[in-house]
Chains A and B, each alone.
Chain A
């Protein structure tokens, strides 16, 4: 029974992350259809054949497509934050084996987030 609040807090973290990311995505769409994007016209065929490389730089200028990318990035970050929270949890319990295991998971996730080998 002792573990309950912890599990609920992790659940809240997950829900909040998805909700915030979802809100950013909706906002990005609203902006896209109100103002269009500085990244030029989009042909339907283009959208399906070519990926758009991330352009987070344009976020500073409030570009709608960059806003959509921010939303996607927030979604990706949500489970990663969850793992970080679990790490803190195990550290508080002084369960060093599991601190190590969770740190390993976090390390792999950060490698993925850094896009290891992804530019090839």
Chain B
């Protein structure tokens, strides 16, 4: 019993560290949890996915609430895009048992590399110019505005290429359901490059969708018995605790310094996952 207690304690602490790091670097918990559970603790990939997806729901819900309060979230657009992300997540979760573990490792590594790029090179404009509503955005009244904290004025914006955005969101959903991550980076990428939303709105609306996307696949993993409760519980509690501490620390630390230290580390983790996957294929 004592051995088990210290083992679960170690899982809790490691998850708290992942949550702390994730919130400092600006990535979700899942992206760090999967390498931690598979490489660090030697867990089966699909059980790691089931464990991670639960934590993704827990961490994103808190963040989503904060963004909603600041009125940065485009609720209508979020709900519309959730149609695509949840469908993708269910697809990913259903396909997962048929995908070889080696391939999952490689896909995960590639996605982690992709997530690190925008973090490293701060892509996207604060408020893109010359964006015009497309037909769907016009019909569904997706254009909105958000309050600029600096000036206190409301910044209006329009939404373009909604069908392309939805297609990319489906892809983000598949990645989430297959790999147990929030795929926030893919969601922001879709809203930034395809629909040309202001960066703050992309980030907030992405967070709004992450929990719902994760919930779509989590039920499938749950009934398949791929969410081990004794592991998933300390991981979820740990990640939420770590993320909360990270959010407080972030106010005192320089964002750039934190990223400069950890982005190369994440790059190495990604390469390690890819190599490990290739060894198993």
Interface residues of A (CB under 8 A from B): 3-4, 7-8, 10-12, 14-15, 17-18, 21-22, 25-26, 28-29, 32-33, 36, 42, 44, 47-54, 65, 68-69, 71-73, 75-80, 82-83, 86, 97-98, 101-102, 104-105, 108-109, 111-120
| A48 and chain B: residue at smallest CB distance | B43
- Tell me the minimal C-beta distance from B147 to chain A in angstroms: 9
29 inter-chain pairs at a CB distance below 8 angstroms, sorted by A residue, are A7-B73, A14-B61, A14-B211, A18-B61, A18-B62, A32-B230, A48-B42, A48-B43, A50-B228, A51-B228, A65-B230, A71-B233, A72-B222, A75-B58, A76-B215, A78-B211, A82-B211, A86-B75, A86-B79, A112-B217, A112-B218, A115-B219, A116-B94, A117-B220, A118-B94, A118-B220, A118-B221, A118-B223, A120-B97
Q: Mark B42-62, 1 if CB is under 8 A from A, else 0.
A: 111011001000100110011
A43 to chain B, nearest CB (A): 8
**A83-B61 in contact (CB<8A):** no
Do B212 and A112 touch across chains, with their CB atoms under 8 A apart? Answer: no
Chain B interface mostly helix, strand, loop or mixed?
A: helix
Task: Give residues of chain B (222-255) contacting chain A, Cβ–Cβ below 8 Å.
Answer: 222-234, 236-237, 240
B73 to chain A, nearest CB (A): 7
* Contact between chains at A112 and B220 (CB < 8 Å): yes
Q: SS class of chain A's interface: helix, strand, loop or mixed?
A: helix
**Nearest A-chain residue to B94, judged by Cβ:** A117
Distance in angstroms from B108 CB to nearest chain A CB is 18
Interface size class, chain B: 35 or more
Bound complex: CA of A52 vs CA of B82, how far in Å?
Answer: 30
Q: Are A109 and B79 CB-contacts (below 8 A) given A36-B1, A49-B44, A116-B90?
A: no
Would you call B62 and A4 a contact (CB within 8 A)? no
Question: Which B residues lie at the A interface, using CB under 8 A?
Answer: 1, 3-5, 7, 41-44, 46-47, 50, 54, 57-58, 61-62, 64-66, 68-69, 71, 73, 75-76, 79-80, 82-83, 86-87, 89-90, 93-94, 97, 140, 211-212, 214-234, 236-237, 240
